[in-house]
């Protein structure tokens, strides 16, 4: 069966699979990782696939459709996100007009959170994949192929569908994938289908070009705002065998020219310290010279940080979020003591690891005073790079439920999740902190953090001393300067057509 996996066209450089999908102010462009994992799984089940990443390939809608028509897919599976869902459903409609015989499904965080609403918003949409997409997409293909013993569409776990009478229904997601070693390496999918875009993917805090993979799925922590564990991956950390992980690292090292680093996009790579130790020890045993970074939590002990550095670790992306203990408790961060985070950052520095710090404003309990505290906290932590962003409470999360119940959510109109240029525009208001005030504060925080003379000097010295860091520093700074004094958060003069959604 011919199946197209599509990351649809939208704003240029739109990162649909980011934890907070948008056009970034650091020129970041994410790999379509979950889409690629699903594509690899379906291809391994005797299907012919096409993988199109329109933002990375710089394709508009007509160009995207032209490429698809040449392949003539029988099934199209599109990645979606909340801020892009109206655009994505318009793409679905265009696909059905251009290729009436093709079935079309959507997948992703928003599709998982609002499967029936998505079907109702776009009558030409056939299916919605709920949760982990890999096996659901495979089972859908088997049903459409008419495989003997395949479950019919209406009985596939994790699939919403349109019945013959036009009404919609769904089957809840089944158990999460236990044996992640069964899944094809996503890096092989990148190499086969996206290698022409390899150097276009850029992460502002990382050495580029880079490859993004998972060593595990799921996060045991319960942060109220984090969308991927609450929709796709769940709260049980399921780990790949360390040997399988390091075998893939070796494949990446041998097959991607000029590799900067590998980024472990696990929800929390350091959720299981022994798993990290096993991966690091195996890298060292093999003498594999590879640089990598990861998402981490501010609770990793010094001895493990030193081992990570020794095994090629470069940087950790850490969500510090807020300086306010009350806010941290409200968002279920788990780490309520900022002293521990400060100690962790000092230990990372001792171990020689860099830290990219994430700070979020507009959470329950935030006030102008706590925002100021958080900015001062960011300066005190002094990570190598930092991002400041307003809370984006996505459907499917506890943060969205809280915002809806408390009245902090200003609108459910998906038009208003991004500004006219695709940058973040939060729909949350906390008392006197309007949505625009939150966006403005993040712009201000970015200026204060990055324009410190001590910070500029430190980055300049790093760029001079370390040629591998030079490209990241200069590209990131050049892009950042364009946005430092620019007004963000304004809607387009004429908004895209919004759906009618019950409050």
At 497 the pLDDT is 44
Q: Which range has the worst mean pLDDT, 117-131, 252-266, 333-347, 377-391?
A: 333-347
Percent of the chain residues topping a pLDDT of 70: 95
Over range 310-317, report the average pLDDT. Answer: 98
Q: Which range has the worst mean pLDDT, 241-245, 331-335, 342-346?
A: 331-335
Rounded CA-CA distance 234/338 in Å is 27
Please tell me which residue, 497 or 263, carries the higher pLDDT value: 263
Residue 357: pLDDT over 60: yes
pLDDT tens digits, one per residue of 130-139: 999 999 999 9
pLDDT, mean over the chain: 94
Quick count: other Cβ atoms within 10 Å of Cβ 374?
A: 25
Strand partners, 386: 357
Q: Which range has the worst mean pLDDT, 63-67, 102-106, 203-207?
A: 203-207
On whether the pTM is more than 0.85, the answer is yes
Core vs surface per residue 6-35: b (16+ CB within 10 A) or e: bbbbbbebbbbbbbbbbbbbbbbbbbbbbb
Tokens of 269: 């790579």
Over range 461-478, report the average pLDDT. Answer: 81
pLDDT tens digits, one per residue of 421-437: 999 889 999 999 999 99
At 76 the pLDDT is 98
Rounded CA-CA distance 308/276 in Å is 8
Residue 489: pLDDT over 80: no
Residue 235: pLDDT over 50: yes
Rounded CA-CA distance 498/85 in Å is 10
Q: How confident is the model at residue 485 (pLDDT cuts 50, 70, 90)?
A: low
**100, 127 contact by CB (below 8 A):** no
Q: How confident is the model at residue 87 (pLDDT cuts 50, 70, 90)?
A: very high
Q: How confident is the model at residue 496 (pLDDT cuts 50, 70, 90)?
A: very low
At 453 the pLDDT is 95
At 494 the pLDDT is 41
Percent of the chain residues topping a pLDDT of 90: 88
Residue 500: pLDDT over 50: no
What is the three-class DSSP state of 501? coil
Q: How confident is the model at residue 480 (pLDDT cuts 50, 70, 90)?
A: low
């Amino acid at each position: 069966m011919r199946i197209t996996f599509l990351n649809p066209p939208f704003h240029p450089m739109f990162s649909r699979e980011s934890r907070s999908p948008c056009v970034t102010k650091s020129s970041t462009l994410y790999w379509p990782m979950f889409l690629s994992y699903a594509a690899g799984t379906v291809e391994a089940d005797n299907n012919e696939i096409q993988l199109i990443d329109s933002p990375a390939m710089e394709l508009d809608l007509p160009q995207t459709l032209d490429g698809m028509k040449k392949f003539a897919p029988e099934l199209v599976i599109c990645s979606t996100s909340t801020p892009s869902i109206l655009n994505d459903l318009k793409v679905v409609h265009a696909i059905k007009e251009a290729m009436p015989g093709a079935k079309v499904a959507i997948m992703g965080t928003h599709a998982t959170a609002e499967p029936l609403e998505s079907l109702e918003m776009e009558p030409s949409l056939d299916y919605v994949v709920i949760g982990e997409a890999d096996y659901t997409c495979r089972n859908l293909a088997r049903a459409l192929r008419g495989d003997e013993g395949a479950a019919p569409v209406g009985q596939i776990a994790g699939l919403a569908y349109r019945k013959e009478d036009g009404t919609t229904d769904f089957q809840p997601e089944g158990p999460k994938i236990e044996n992640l070693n069964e899944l094809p390496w996503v890096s092989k999918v990148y190499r086969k289908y996206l290698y022409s875009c390899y150097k276009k993917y850029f992460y502002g805090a990382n050495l580029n070009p880079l490859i993004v993979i998972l060593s595990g799925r799921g996060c045991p922590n319960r942060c109220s705002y984090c969308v991927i564990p609450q929709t796709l991956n769940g709260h049980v950390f399921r780990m790949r065998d360390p040997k399988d992980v390091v075998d893939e690292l070796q494949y990446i090292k041998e097959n991607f020219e000029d590799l900067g680093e590998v980024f472990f996009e696990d929800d929390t790579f350091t959720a299981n310290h022994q798993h990290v130790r096993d991966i690091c020890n195996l890298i060292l045993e093999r003498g594999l010279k590879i640089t990598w970074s990861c998402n981490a939590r501010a609770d990793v002990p010094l001895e493990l940080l030193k081992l990570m550095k020794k095994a090629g670790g470069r940087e950790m992306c850490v969500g510090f979020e807020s300086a306010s203990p009350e806010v941290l408790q409200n968002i279920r961060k788990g780490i309520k003591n900022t002293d521990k985070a400060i100690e962790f950052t000092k230990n990372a520095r001792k171990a020689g690891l860099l830290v990219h710090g994430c700070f979020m404003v507009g959470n329950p309990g935030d006030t102008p005073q706590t925002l100021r505290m958080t900015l001062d906290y960011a300066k005190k932590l002094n990570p190598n790079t930092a991002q400041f962003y307003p809370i984006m409470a996505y459907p499917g999360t506890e943060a969205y439920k809280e915002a809806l119940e408390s009245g902090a959510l200003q609108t459910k109109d998906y038009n208003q999740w991004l500004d006219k240029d695709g940058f973040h525009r939060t729909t949350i208001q906390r008392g006197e902190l309007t949505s625009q005030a939150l966006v403005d504060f993040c712009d201000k925080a970015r200026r204060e953090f990055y324009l410190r003379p001590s910070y500029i000097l430190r980055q300049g010295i790093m760029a001079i001393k370390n040629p591998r860091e030079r490209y990241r520093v200069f590209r990131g700074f050049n892009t950042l300067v364009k946005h430092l004094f620019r007004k963000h958060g304004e809607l387009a003069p004429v908004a895209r057509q919004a759906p009618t959604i019950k409050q």
